[in-house]
Amino acid sequence: MTHSPVTTDPSPAAVGIPNRLVGKRIVVTGGARGIGASIARRAAAEGAEVAVLDRLVDEGTAFADETGCRFSPVDLTDHAGTVEVMDAVIADLGGIDVLVNNAGILRFSPLLDISVAEWETTFAINTTAMLVTTQVAAKAMIAGPDPAGHRRGTIINLASMAGKTGGAGQGHYAASKAAVIALTRVTALELGPSGITANCLCPGYVLTEMGAATRTEEDVALWSTYSPLGRLADPADVAGVATFLASDDAAYMTGQALNVTGGMIMH
């Protein structure tokens, strides 16, 4: 029996959150739904100017109407088009302080059956698009004012627990997310001297549309037992950590791959 719980966020107002992101201009890719929407919503609630990019035009437009975030449609696998949209969005925001590379896809296929086309599609969105948006954003951050010894900007990438552990039936996905962890470290190493930090998040199992079509009650029950907390993640569980990384409280953290897995893995 299929079972597709997709959670909704608690109202930011009800959570009593601080205003840690006032004055920050934030771009979130894949922000029309799921973890990206939760990050965008939370960032806006903490005072940021937020622009969301997504290929889902109706969902993105509705999200912008509801939250006051800006929305730009783009297919991030169109890498030339992505550069154009990123340039326009950053110009519209008047600069960029935080890039959240969140957009991603998950496809299931046994290793011996993965086609090169499937592999390349997964990498085009999960990894290559991240390089492209990082290049545009980092150049804009470097061109911005130098806050003399403080952080000029930060990049937050969505990797996955699968990028550390692998995942049976997820060869293309796990490999693309391991590449995200490596790309994050290179970003931290190369851009640190320019005042830019980069970290990635490695969520475990988050209740979003991703994987919902094949999710069963048995899956949810089994995976819940892998966490000492006995439950799967809400998008807001990931958004809380992303918001911390976006805030100046995380100014001295860079090159890290943080698990947000409810303790499913501890390395």
Is the Cβ of residue 166 or residue 192 nearer to ligand NAD in the bound state?
A: 166
Q: Which one of the listed residues 173, 205, 226, 252 is annotated catalytic? A: 173
Q: How far is the CB of 206 from ligand NAD (least distance, A)?
A: 4
**Does residue 77 contact residue 125 with C-beta atoms inside 8 Å?**
yes
Between 35 and 114, whose beta carbon lies closer to ligand NAD? 35
Cα four-point dihedral sign 89, 32, 132, 74: negative
Q: Which residues bind ligand NAD (CB under 6 A)?
A: 30, 32-36, 54-56, 74-77, 102-106, 125, 158, 160, 203, 205-206, 208-210
Known catalytic residue at 173: yes
* Residue nearer to ligand NAD on the CB measure, 55 or 139: 55
The dihedrals phi and psi of 250, each to the nearest 5 degrees, come to -105, 20
The CB-based long-range contact list for 53-60 (8 Å cut-off, 24+ gap) reads: 53/27, 53/28, 53/29, 53/85, 53/86, 53/89, 53/103, 54/29, 54/30, 54/103, 56/32, 59/32, 59/33, 60/31, 60/32
CA distance 182 to 199: 10
Instruction: Report in angstroms how near the CB of residue 73 gets to ligand NAD at its nearest.
Output: 8
Min dist. Cβ of residue 55 to ligand NAD (A) = 4
CB of 167 to ligand NAD, least distance (A): 10
> Phi and psi at residue 202, in whole multiples of 5°?
-120, 85
Nearest one of 135, 261, 260, 110 to 198, comparing CA atoms: 135
Whichever of 9 and 142 has its CB closer to ligand NAD, that residue is: 9
Active site residues: 173
